[in-house]
Amino acid sequence: MPNDASPQEVRDCLHDELAQAIGPLKDLYRLPDSVFNDDNVHTVLKGFDMMMLKAYCSPELRSGMNRGQVVQVLPRVFNRINQDGNGRAAKFPTRTPKSWAQAVQTALGPGSKTSQRITAANQALKIAKAMGWSDHRLAFAHYPSSRPVLASYPKAAFQHFVAADHYYAATPDAEPHRAYVATQYAAHAVSKGDGVRALTLIGPHIDRAARNKKRSPAL
């Protein structure tokens, strides 16, 4: 972590890294309401994350079990820790290609030139559309498309923010994602010297962001 990281950044990092140290190691972009997602929208453990940690650390599971053995045990584990889930229809989001994740990381990660970021961002958006997504992953694909052109083509960047907000609005449990996009809206207004509009845009999301920063349920 940077030596000048704020206390909140330190806390957020500890939430994420400690959770992965004692639980699932891999981040999955298909998870909308979880810290186990590299979009970095959630910075504190959510209810889903706590349930995953409970399952992962349950006494019914032990090191050395193969996939088939775990599959047999998991229904009993989840019946014990999440009885409210019984009888609900399963929802299986489509897979997330590695090429999409790599394109996003190139577009947003360090060390890439502006031209490389633009190419990677366009590739991420192209893959998202080809996969037929209409969920938070398509929304997030618009975000790296906006960043490289924010200074040079602010109108184009703004349209990507609009598109991201549109898809987040149609995605359950995406309130903090919309708040995140709203900060970009507001920054655009500030760049135009319109502070009043910036406050108007960000205002409805302050309480939402605060709700999603609350401490997670106890393990």
Q: Are 218 and 47 in contact (CB under 8 A)?
A: no
Claim to verify: residue 200 and residue 102 sit in the same structural domain? yes
Residues 192 and 105 in one domain: yes
Number of domains in the chain: 2
Same domain? For 30 and 78 the reply is yes
Same domain, 178 and 103: yes
Domain range for 27: 7-85
Which CATH number fits the domain that encloses residue 194? 1.25.40
pLDDT 10s digit of each residue in the chain, 219 long? 777 878 877 887 888 788 888 887 777 778 777 878 777 677 778 888 899 899 999 999 998 999 999 999 999 999 999 888 887 887 777 889 999 989 988 988 888 898 999 999 999 999 999 999 988 899 888 988 887 787 778 888 888 988 998 998 888 878 888 888 888 878 878 888 889 988 988 888 888 777 766 544 444
Compute φ and ψ for 172, nearest 5 degrees: -60, 145
Alpha-carbon distances, residue 155 vs 73, 76, 104, 152, 212 (angstroms):
53, 53, 21, 9, 30
- Whole-angstrom Cα distance, residue 52 to residue 54? 5
Residue 216 lies in a domain: no
Domain boundary among 23, 54, 85: 85
Asked if the structure places residue 2 within a domain, the reply is no
Q: Do 36 and 133 sit in the same domain of this protein? A: no
Q: Token digits for 124? A: 């991420």
Considering the domain architecture, whether residues 12 and 112 belong to the same structural domain is answered as no
pTM above 0.85, yes or no: no
